[in-house]
Amino acid sequence: MRIKWFSFVRVTGLFLVLFYHFFKQAFPGGFIGVDVFFTFSGYLITALLIDEHARHKTIDLLGFLKRRFYRIVPPLVIMVLVTLPFTLLIRKDFVADIGHQVASVIGFTTNLYEILTGSSYESQFIPHLFVHTWSLAIEVHFYLFWGILIWLLSRKIKQPKQFRGIIFLISLGLFFTSFLTMFIRAFFVSNFSVIYFSTLSHIYPFFLGAIFATISGISETTGRFKKNVMLWDTRRVIIYIALSAALLLLLGFILDFNSIITYLFGFVLASLFTAVMVYSSRVLNDKTPNIKEPVLITYLADTSYGVYLFHWPLYIIFGQLMPNWLAVVFTLLFSFIFASLSYYVLEPYIAGKQPAFLGLEINLNAYKKWLYACLGVLAAIVFGILATAPKVGNFETSLLVDSLNQAENSLNRTHTLAAGDASAISDITVIGDSVALRSSSAFSELLPEAQVDAAVSRNFENAYEIYQNHITNNSLSKTVIIAVGVNSLEDYKNKIKQFVDALPKGHRLIFVTPYNAKDDRIPSVRDYELELAKQYNYVTVADWYETAVSHPDIWAGSDGVHYSDSSNSEGANLYVDTIKKAIARSAKNPAKGEAAE
């Protein structure tokens, strides 16, 4: 039994994810699209299992797992086989350690892989091609756990109402357990990706969907639900659906992945709005028996899973080859083509069913040899890529070397201080992100007196914590350089201003303007830092943004944040030289408290 208007729920989740990935700066909270899918899946699976128990007084666990296998695994394998050959068009950094990534995808442990490798979901560089399958891993974990648990319950409980009631209570308990895990852990983690990827803390949307399944249902519905179908007029139900979708869209505009508010309230609100949308869609199905669902919406819903699988790796690959708008066009085109072939042709064929598209049957038997030949060629290419892929990419290798250089320089300064030569310790400290880290060799050559403390993915909050520790320990250099800004831009004015307000007297502050060719918020950050430099004579700006724009040659083949490998030396020298010139200008101005501000 297909519930007609459920397609709108699937399409809403898909569009949220696509908008987020394609236009993250304009739609920073679209990652909640995954929670839409989670909640809907929890509802659908639970309702179907309740229906099966009502009909047969038992659950066919093997049949359940078989259905899940044919729906999930074939398109997943097809996605890996189809997308990996596209990586031959881009540099090998994107297939570094790809063997472990593929193993995690097939083993449904991508979320664990991302946690164990310390990955950030919103990494600014070299994103994993299959990171999006973290959600599929949690979904499969839910299917296995929930299927087995309900099967065990079905062996003990035969009364449908009691069975439904027990599932309601268990769902309620598991929902609060998982939600509180995310809520509490949010106060104690420095990297929110850890709880975002976690099965334990991010599985609760499934159980919220399960709760709503027990109070409505699909074939076997509750008395209260039937009354609502009679009492609610169609206009009211449509308003509920539209309002839920609008609220989800609003969350997409206002939520920030790196804000604790998202983990305390954002995800649970997204799940609640989705549950209301699902329930209302179920009511609308019964109130509109003679109205057909639009064909386009049905098609988008049918292919939503495939499009979700294909779009991310294709977007990453095309994004390296062309402007963003063109990458979006090519990604959508190929994603829908591959998803359609997978859903309407290959998946039914693999499951032993008759492939059909728009009511037209497709006979693949005449093309068996060609089909198997294509799969064989794709498999050979994929195995070749897996066999030749580097363990670590050039970019990450460069960052590792820079980290070691930075550690060595810090160690040398420590030894000098221990020997009593305090004058050899620099009175300049650079607190920076991965761009500063990548320039460590240039710092050693062009600005050896500077003490560089840089790290990957460092944002304003992380930098301020280090800054404040130096102030507390009376170890703050006379000139402090803040070289961060691309990793977290929410509320950037207050985050930047706190450095100025906390600066002790007798010190100077230099801001390095951030640069990200793909983020249109960066110029506003630069403008604000320039305003501060005009307002406070002890604040200076090292305008890396202007330098970056003036030297487009250093960005060829880069991610738009880190200058390219081919221009590593030139880019690093330009970066450090920009800071060096700012230090010279700063020295000509009084420190804080030395003259009228």
- Rounded CA separation 303/307 (Å): 6
pLDDT over 80 (residue 359): no
Average pLDDT (313-320) is: 93
Average pLDDT (479-496) is: 88
Give the tens place of pLDDT for each residue, 31-84: 999 999 999 999 999 999 999 999 999 999 999 999 999 999 999 999 999 999
- pLDDT at site 394: 56
- pLDDT at site 409: 53
What pTM value is reported for the model? Answer: 0.82
- pLDDT at site 423: 31
> CA Rg, the chain, in Å?
28
- Rounded CA separation 386/498 (Å): 48
Structure tokens at 578: 């920009």
3-class SS of residue 556: coil
Nearest to 476 by CA among 428, 540, 433: 428
Whether 486 contacts 436, CB under 8 Å: no
pLDDT over 60 (residue 375): yes
Nearest to 202 by CA among 211, 191, 210, 193: 193
The mean pLDDT of the chain is 89
pLDDT over 80 (residue 102): yes
Structure tokens at 450: 């500077």
Amino acid at 415: H
In three-state form (DSSP H/G/I as H, E/B as E, the rest C), the secondary structure along 431-474 is: EECHHHHHCHHHHHHHCCCEEEEECCCCCHHHHHHHHHHHHHCC
Task: Please report the DSSP string for 319-342 in residue order.
Answer: HTTS-HHHHHHHHHHHHHHHHHII
Give the tens place of pLDDT for each residue, 423-472: 323 589 999 988 998 888 888 888 888 888 888 778 898 899 999 999 99
Average pLDDT (351-368) is: 81
Least confident of 165-179, 318-332, 350-364, 371-385: 350-364
3-class SS of residue 430: strand
- pLDDT at site 440: 84
Please, what are the domains in the chain? 6-388 (no CATH), 394-587 (3.40.50.1110)
In the chain, the percentage of residues whose pLDDT exceeds 70 is 92
- pLDDT at site 399: 52
